[in-house]
Amino acid sequence: FERPHNDTINFSNRGMTLEAELNESNKYYLNKEIAVIHKKPTPIQIVSVDYPKRSAARIKEAYFRKASTTDYNGVYKGRYIDFDAKETKNKTSFPLKNFHKHQVEHMRECLKQQGICFAIIKFVNDQSVFLLKATDLIDYWDQQQIGGRKSIPRKTIEKIGVAVPYQINPLLPYLRAVDSIIE
């Protein structure tokens, strides 16, 4: 019996979005009582609802709204966890336009309350995932406002971020990366 020739096994599933991968990982963390972290529902502006007599209320007209916070939050080791997940097809850098102003302001506010805030960034091209601290993201964001670059070089993310390699359970062990940024 011989070991397969591929030295590094990548457990990532090319059909899965980063969001689905994180939701699955969060389910694992919840079941193992390691953390309670959920994705927030998508905010919807409801315009019109039907209330049929013998069945469930039916929303007939509604629109997607821009989120005013990040997508994920919860609790881990008593600490408040807050992050957003972003995928990019870009190979050499992460474009800052992936974030809305409101999300960055939300992170700034959570940091003031000593929350643990970060972004999970996936380069879909080669299925690499990194945790980037909100403080680093905010540095680049603020620089951009005064004429700085519109993206963060991948090389920088590799250096200042924390790699989150795929594994089996959980698929994306990002709380290990969180451990490394909690002082």
* CA–CA distance, 183 with 181 (Å, rounded to integer): 6
15 binds its own copies (CB under 8 A): no
User: Which pair of tokens denotes residue 126?
Assistant: 């080669």
78 touches, from Mg ion, its own copies, none (C-beta below 5 to 8 Å by class):
its own copies
Q: How far is the CB of 31 from its own copies (least distance, A)?
A: 10
Of residues 82-101, those binding Mg ion (CB under 5 A): 84
DSSP three-state, residue 40 = coil
List 5, 8, 15, 56, residue binding its own copies (CB under 8 A): 56
43 binds its own copies (CB under 8 A): yes
Pick between residue 19 and residue 160 the one whose CB is nearest to its own copies.
19
The answer to whether residues 94 and 152 touch, using CB atoms and an 8 Å cutoff, is yes
Distances (CA, A) of 158 to 80, 131, 154: 25, 9, 6
The answer to whether residues 155 and 122 touch, using CB atoms and an 8 Å cutoff, is no
- The reply to whether 113 sits in an annotated binding site is no
The answer to whether residues 87 and 17 touch, using CB atoms and an 8 Å cutoff, is yes
* CA–CA distance, 173 with 183 (Å, rounded to integer): 19
Rg (CA), the chain: 19
106 binds its own copies (CB under 8 A): yes
List 71, 72, 106, 173, residue binding Mg ion (CB under 5 A): 71
Task: Candidates 13-21, 37-45, 89-97, 172-180: pick the segment binding its own copies (CB under 8 A).
Answer: 37-45
Pick between residue 109 and residue 158 the one whose CB is nearest to its own copies.
109
Residues that bind its own copies (CB under 8 A): 30, 33, 35-36, 38, 40-44, 56-64, 68-69, 73-82, 106, 109-110, 112-115
**Could you tell me which residues are annotated as the binding site for Mg(2+)?**
69, 71, 84, 103
